[in-house]
Every structure is written in C-alpha cells, then in structure tokens.
C-alpha cells in the first residue's frame, strides 16, 4: 500500500462521523478498542487479519475520542446550572489565549478554576469567553479574577443562520462572560503559562509593533494577517471584498508562510556554514515557535506538521510522500480535537491542498504545460492550473458555508496569489531591514505599503467585473 496513513486517517474520520451520529457509551467503545488491539497483536503474523483489526481499532478510536471530548467532569462549568442565567458572578482563572484588544473592547478565553457569587464559592473547570468594555493590559497566562454576567451564547435566528453556540462549543467554550467595566478585572498573578507559547507571543507582539510603526494602519493590518495570521485589524469591508473575489485564503497564514520561515532559517544557518543535519534540526523547533506565533490555527498546524515530516524524511534519508504527510497532519489535529472535522477552516485547508496535490499534476500533464517553451507563459498557465485545482476542490464548501459563488476566483487568484506571496516576502524583508539595516527600513516600508495598496486596488477591480460573484439564496 502506497498511502497507508491516508487509509487510516479516512477510517479515523469515519469513526468521528459515526461517533457524532451514534452516541455510543464511551466504556463500550473503550472495551471494544482494547479487544481489537489484543486481536491485532494476536494476529500480528497474519497481515490481512492484523490490518483489518488495526483499521477497526482506528475507527473505534475516532468514535471514542469524539464521545470522550463531549464528556465533561462533574465540576465543569456547564454542569453548574445555578449560574446558567444572566446573573452577576465572580470567576477566577487564567487567560488561555492572547487577548484580543480593540479600541473599544477586550476579549479573551479564560480557563476558570473558581466560580462564585456574593455568598458561595466553589471549585470548577472549563473555559469561558470574556468580553470587557474598554482596553485592559492583559497577557496570555495571566491569573485573573473577574466580576461579570455569565450568559449563554445566542442561538441562530434561522435554520440557515450561523450557529454561534455550536461554534463556541466546538472550541470547548460553554459560556460568555460580559464585564461592564474593565476595573472588574483584577490581575492576580503573571506568567502561569507554557513558556514556548509565551516566548512566541512576545516575538509576535514585537513583530506587530514593527509593522504598525513602519507602515499605515490599513497596510499593517494586512501584513499582520499575511505574516502572523492576525486578522483583528482588517476592516470587515476589506474581508468581504476578498470573500467576494474568492481570495480570502490569502489572509490566512498557510503552508507558504511556513515554507518561507523554513527557507529563511535554513539559509541563515547555511550562511554560518553549519551542516545540513544541524540546519534541519534547528528549523524544526523554529517552525513550532512560528506556529504558536500565528495562533496555531489549523492551516498553520497542517503546514507545520507537513514541513516537519518533510524535514524529518530528509534527516532520515527517506522518500517523503505528500499524501501521507497530509494525512498525518489531519490525524494529529483530529486526535487532539475531533470536532475540527466539522470546522470550515479545517475542511477548506485540507480540501484545497488535497485538490491541488491531486488535480494540478494531472491537469498539467493533460495540457502538456512542460512542452511550452515560453517561460512566462508556462508560469502563467501553472498559476492558472493551481488556482483552478483549488477552486474545483473548494467551490462546493464555499457555496455551502458562505452562500456565495465567485466565477472571478480563478482569474483573481492568478493576480492576487502572486501579489500576496510578494507581500508576505516583503513583510519578512521589512523585519530583516528593521533589525539589520535600520537606515533602509523606511524604503522597505514604502515597498510594503505600495504592494498592499496594489493588492487592494486589484481586488477591488476584480469584484467590479460584471458577474464576478453572486450570492446563493
């Protein structure tokens, strides 16, 4: 079998899907898993029987993991019915994600360990999403105490509306906490956090500061999204215009960014004349740090795992297989969070990569692109085919989730994707300029600003083409 991990991952996904539909008791699934593990060991010399046993085991693991993640402990916040109405309560815990601070609000995910009101206090666990009016200087890992109103996330207004409650549930968040005044948030301790993530977030804030100091606010927001995956400062209008042209994927950190990081690290270490093995070993932890910097979103984790597999195979002198590394990435993400299978980000990320990997070489061979002698034309057709392959793969999902169909996507991607790649590279070069040649930084900033302006102008032109997009209602 050429792609064993693909088969196992598909079986695992099937297990998650079945686990979602049939609410089997966890202990029963666990018992069956142990049984099939024992059978696989017993029949380990008979390949066929062992493979069947392993496949069933992986299927049951998928089911079991899905069922297990929906089981919460006795003292979980979702079980404390006392607080499930809109009432004032006191919560203690620590900040689990980097807080999102805007001009008017501060919001963050908090892991709670104590809940109470004026009379009672009790230990609990679980996550809540806190919204507070006003700016508050908070960091990932801060231990805090807050006073606010515990409310359930709103339900969808119609059958086709976005289900915010389910979206938060998929992230393990059961309640929202509304804090009326940021003086109701008290800082208790600092630095109760994973040091790699803390270091990554410090680096991230330094890089963000460079962008916001060097270029205009609008351009910095785009650079922030393309280099660090942080979209909070992109206006809704800008996001909508990219959705209309079917190029919103450029605002997400993807495999390309991870590739650039690997390239920069390998090249820098190569300049120091270090050996290939040392270079590869150093690149792997830096890719992990970069994943944390960008919020460890699904596309980044996928790209990071795939690049680690590729670098690992180079270290071990083994032939890498793109399908197997993609399947491994999916398996790792789903093993940690089986709910990701129903997340649009996960689906789009994997479907687009899969369709490019599968369709692009076939289309290229069919049209005999390699026989074209004009290099520029060959490059243009290549870009067109990659864009077409990704569009074929994702148009069904985009139509289903966003209710939009954008025929201009293929054309727009030919221009927008190379421009976005250029901006990402320019963003990294601006960082290099600021720290290595500060006197040249304003000129690098000028180029960045221009490239972002060009991107926005081009995108606006594409969506103005008649019939560029239409809503499916």
Partner 1 sequence: MFSFTRQERQVLLFLSIVALAGIGISFCVKINTPLEKAVSVHEELTKLDLNLASVEDLVLNKVATIKLAQSIIDYRNENGDFCSLEDLKKVKGIGDHRYERMKEGVYVK
Q: Which residues bind partner 1 (CB under 8 A)?
A: 102-104, 133, 215-216, 218-219, 221-222, 234-238, 240, 267, 270-271, 425-426, 429, 432-433, 440, 442-447, 449-450, 452-453, 456-457, 460
Q: Smallest distance from the beta carbon of 437 to partner 1, in angstroms?
A: 8
Q: Please, what is the Cα angle at 216 between 215 and 219, to 5 degrees?
A: 85
Q: Which residue number, 359 or 426, has a Cβ lying nearer to partner 1?
A: 426
Instruction: Quote the least distance from Cβ 453 to partner 1, whole Å.
Output: 5
What is the per-residue burial (b if ≥16 Cβ within 10 Å, else e) of 179-213?
Answer: beebebbeeeeeeebeeebbebbeebeebbebbbe
Q: Which is nearer to partner 1, 119 or 457 (CB)?
A: 457
CA angle at 141 for the pair 139 and 146, rounded to the nearest 5°: 75
Query: Shortest approach of partner 1 to residue 120 CB, angstroms?
Result: 32
Question: In whole angstroms, how close is the CB of 217 to partner 1 at the nearest point?
Answer: 8
Which residues face 419 on adjacent strands? none
Least Cβ distance, residue 179 to partner 1 (angstroms): 14
**DSSP letters spanning 425-443:** HHHHHHHHHHHH-GGGHHH
Closest distance of CB 215 from partner 1, Å: 8
Would you say 227 or 327 has its CB closer to partner 1?
Answer: 227
Looking at the Cβ atoms of 70 and 216, the one nearer to partner 1 is 216
- Distances from the Cα of 330 to the Cα of 189, 314, 336, 393, angstroms: 36, 21, 10, 17
DSSP structure string for 90-159 = EEEEEE-S--EE-SSEEEEEEEEEEEE-SS-EEE-B-EEEEEEES-----TT-EEEEEEEEEPPPPPSST
Token representation of residue 30: 């666990």
Instruction: Give whichever of 122 and 460 is closer to partner 1, judged by the CB atom.
Output: 460
| Burial annotation 26-36 (CB, 10 A radius, 16+ → b, else e) | beebeebbeeb
Residue 161 CB, nearest distance to partner 1 (Å)?
A: 14
Half-sphere exposure in the Cβ direction for 355 (13 Å, CA): 18
The nearer residue to partner 1, 176 or 452, going by C-beta atoms, is 452
Yes or no: say if 460 and 393 are a contact pair by the CB < 8 Å rule.
no
Q: Which is nearer to partner 1, 209 or 446 (CB)?
A: 446
Nearer to partner 1 by Cβ, of 66 and 428: the residue is: 428
Tell me how far, at minimum, the Cβ of 361 lies from partner 1, in Å. 25
- Count CB neighbours of 292 within 10 A: 21
């Amino acid at each position: 079998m050429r792609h064993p991990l693909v088969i196992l991952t598909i079986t695992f996904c099937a297990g998650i899907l079945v686990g979602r539909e049939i609410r089997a008791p966890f202990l029963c699934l666990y018992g069956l898993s142990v049984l099939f593990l024992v059978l696989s060991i017993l029949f380990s010399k008979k390949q066929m029987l062992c493979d069947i046993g392993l496949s069933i085991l992986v299927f049951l693991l998928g089911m079991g993991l899905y069922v297990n993640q929906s089981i919460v402990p006795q003292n979980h916040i979702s079980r404390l019915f006392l607080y499930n109405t809109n009432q004032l309560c006191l919560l203690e815990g620590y900040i689990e994600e980097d807080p999102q601070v805007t001009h008017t609000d501060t919001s963050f995910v908090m892991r709670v360990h104590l809940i109470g009101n004026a009379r009672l206090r009790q230990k609990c666990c679980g996550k809540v999403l806190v919204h507070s009016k006003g700016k508050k200087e908070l960091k990932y890992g801060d231990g805090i105490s807050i006073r606010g109103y515990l409310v359930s996330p709103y339900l969808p207004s119609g059958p086709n509306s976005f289900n915010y409650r389910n979206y938060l549930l998929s992230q393990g968040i059961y309640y929202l906490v509304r804090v009326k005044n940021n003086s109701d948030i008290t800082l208790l301790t600092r630095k109760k956090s994973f040091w790699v993530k803390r270091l990554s977030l410090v680096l991230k804030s330094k890089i963000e500061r460079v962008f916001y100091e060097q270029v205009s606010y609008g351009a910095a927001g785009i650079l922030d999204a393309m280099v660090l995956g942080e979209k909070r400062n992109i206006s809704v209008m800008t996001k909508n215009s990219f959705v209309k042209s079917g190029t919103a994927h450029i605002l997400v950190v993807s495999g390309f960014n991870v590739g650039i990081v690997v390239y920069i690290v390998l090249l820098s270490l190569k300049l120091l004349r270090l050996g290939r093995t040392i270079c590869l070993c150093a690149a792997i932890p830096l890719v992990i740090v970069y994943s944390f910097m960008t919020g460890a979103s699904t596309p980044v984790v996928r790209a990071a795992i795939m690049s680690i597999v590729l670098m690992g195979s180079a270290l071990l002198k083994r032939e890498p297989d793109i399908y197997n590394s993609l399947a491994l990435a999916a398996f790792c993400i789903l093993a940690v969070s089986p709910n990701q299978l129903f997340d649009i980000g996960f689906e789009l990320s994997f479907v687009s990569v899969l369709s490019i990997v599968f369709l692009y070489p076939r289309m290229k061979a069919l049209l005999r692109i390699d026989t074209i002698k004009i290099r520029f034309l060959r490059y243009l057709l290549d870009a067109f085919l990659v864009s077409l392959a990704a569009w074929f793969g994702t148009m069904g999902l985009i139509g289903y989730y966003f209710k939009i169909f954008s025929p201009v996507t293929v054309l727009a991607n030919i221009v927008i994707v190379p421009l976005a790649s250029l901006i990402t590279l320019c963003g990294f070069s601006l960082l290099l300029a600021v720290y290595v040649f500060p006197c040249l930084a304003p000129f690098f900033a000028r180029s960045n600003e221009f490239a972002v302006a060009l991107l926005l102008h081009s995108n606006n032109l594409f969506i103005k083409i008649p019939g560029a997009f239409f809503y499916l209602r």
